[in-house]
Structure 1
Amino acid sequence: MNYLAHLHLGGPQPADMLGSLYGDFVKGRLQGDLPRQIEAGIRLHRQIDAFTDSHPLVLQAKARFPAQRRRYAGILLDLFFDHCLAANWQ
């Protein structure tokens, strides 16, 4: 859900950007079906997600949500982080 963050971190080339967006939609193992640079962008997307999803500050932020809403905490935080990027892109 954090499209702007992935575009910001994914690299400057069009294939990098495409791969960083595909990361939310391409599931399973990457087996060379896509161009190399796009698959590299998908891998980077997955690494960024793994890092942020396990970061202590993100886990602390998710814990602030009520238990019955915690399922959506990651999505809401992604949207919030993208909002912060949009408001302060430079």
Structure 2
Amino acid sequence: MNFLAHVALSGEREGILMGNYVGDFIKGQLTELRTESWPADFRLGVELHRFIDNFTDTNQGVLQAKRIVAIKHPKVAGVALDIYFDYFLANHFSKFYQEDLAGFVMGSYEIIQRNRQLIPAAMLSMAEAMIRHDWLLNYKDISGIKRSFDGLSRRFAFMGAIKGAEEELQRNQQIYQDAFMEFYPKLKRACEKFIENY
């Protein structure tokens, strides 16, 4: 899953949201990292991020959708599908959450800014760009998805193959939407249970 989903799946506690938000930038086994200074909810958020990634990567419906993306974009199918799923979450947000998307995104940006000391240095400039250019809300439009793919292809040489992946989203939109709508409620329930049982 991509940024919007990770933030949305965090529940209402700021520390969990922050840990989940920065999870991709925290490498290694948590038992081997110096986590004693981390707030408890932040650590929970990092673990939730890893749980989400594993739950997603092992779901059969997601794997099937990924195979379809891979026909045109084999090297970047997983990343492309994660961003497709943020597009569908943004467009169907009210089916899963009571808060409207714009209000949720604005509140999330405020939490991120308020807790910037928890953002790893390697992520800081990207986090600032995300807020400045309103990435989370822009996932709602194909033009925003295109900008996301264009940006990835510019910033990372290995992501060159993702340029133009929005065309695959448009071409097989119903297939990917069906996969998302089947999968996301299961993921949301699993995350709620993970937080509750932590």
Q: TM-score, normalised by structure 2?
A: 0.42
- In the comparison of the two structures, how many residue pairs are matched? 89
SS at match of 2:89: helix
Q: Any runs of at least 4 consecutive aligned residues in structure 1 with deviations exceeding 4 A, and if so which? A: none
Give the aligned partner of residue 29 of structure 1.
29
1:84 is aligned to: 88
CA deviations on 1:16-69 (whole Å, 9 max, x unpaired) are 110110111111122424222101101011011001011101111111122x72
The match for 2:43 is 39
Q: What residue number does 2:166 align with?
A: none
Aligned match of 2:16: 16
- Structure number with bigger Rg: 2
Equivalent residue letter for 2:46: I
Give the structure-1-normalised TM-score: 0.88
State, as a whole percentage, how many aligned pairs show the same letter: 42
Gaps spanning 5+ residues in structure 2: where?
95-198
Give the unaligned 5+ runs of structure 1. Answer: none
Higher relative contact order (CA 8 A, sep 6+): 1
AA paired with 2:42? I
Partners of 2:19 and 2:73 lie apart in 1 by 30
Q: Give yes or no for contact 2:13–2:41 (8 Å, CA) kept in 1.
A: no
Bigger CA drift: 23-32 or 73-82?
23-32
